[in-house]
């Protein structure tokens, strides 16, 4: 009878321990990454979406390229930029048409495509003369991984200066 009691004690003992919740041990090496992940998630929920410095869209966009050509002043001259086809979309072959009023310029202008608040690498559109103060060239506006759609086309006339056209594209 004593053997049965001994067995029953061991059965009772294991049943007693199986009802306890098991402790999960996390090594100290896991605390830091888990804490960082929790902090990032909390900040994304609590803080409003942050923008890059200077990216107040209402204040910087000076061209509605989706509706048509845009004109900016460059000294005493007017420079017009048109991008075709419309709607102007990222990752599409685009034609850039630039015209300048006044005297003809000796050196051909170029267009540098970039984002107003982020350096996107070299993206240069080479323009060729089309006659009577007009120039045209082909280029592509790349898609930004951040999802931002505001782009800047800087038209550079070597003799008279640079002018920026800031606009939104479609992704």
Exposure of 87 by Cβ count < 10 A (0-12 exposed, 13-18 middle, 19+ buried)?
exposed
pLDDT (0 to 100) of residue 55: 44
pLDDT (0 to 100) of residue 121: 86
C-alpha–C-alpha distance, residues 73 and 4, integer Å: 102
Residue 98 and residue 25 share a domain: no
Question: Beta-carbon neighbour count of residue 116 at 10 Å?
Answer: 18
C-alpha–C-alpha distance, residues 162 and 79, integer Å: 10
Residue 99 and residue 79 share a domain: yes
In a domain, 51, yes or no: no
What's the pTM?
0.66
Residue 71 and residue 134 share a domain: yes
Instruction: Profile the chain (171 residues) by mean pLDDT over runs of 10 residues.
Output: 50 57 62 64 52 53 96 95 97 97 90 90 94 93 90 95 96 87
Write out pLDDT tens, residues 14-47. 555 556 666 666 566 656 666 667 666 555 555 4
- Structurally, the chain folds into a number of domains equal to 2
Q: What is the CATH number of the domain that holds 135?
A: 2.60.40.1930
pLDDT (0 to 100) of residue 65: 97
Residue 24 and residue 99 share a domain: no
């Amino acid at each position: 009878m004593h053997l049965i009691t001994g067995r029953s004690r061991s059965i009772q003992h294991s049943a007693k321990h199986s009802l306890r919740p098991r402790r999960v041990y996390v090594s100290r090496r896991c605390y830091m990454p888990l804490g960082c992940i929790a902090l990032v998630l909390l900040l994304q929920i609590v803080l409003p979406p942050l923008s890059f410095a200077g990216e107040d869209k209402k204040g910087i966009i000076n061209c509605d390229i989706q509706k048509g050509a845009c004109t900016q002043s460059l000294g005493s001259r007017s420079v017009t930029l048109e991008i075709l086809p419309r709607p102007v979309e990222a990752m599409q072959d685009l034609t850039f048409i630039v015209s300048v009023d006044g005297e003809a310029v000796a050196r051909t202008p170029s267009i540098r495509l970039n984002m107003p608040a982020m350096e996107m690498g070299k993206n240069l559109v080479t323009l060729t003369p089309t006659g009577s103060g007009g120039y045209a060239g082909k280029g592509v506006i790349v898609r930004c991984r951040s999802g931002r759609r505001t782009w800047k086309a800087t038209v550079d006339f070597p003799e008279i200066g640079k002018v920026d056209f800031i606009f939104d594209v479609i992704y």
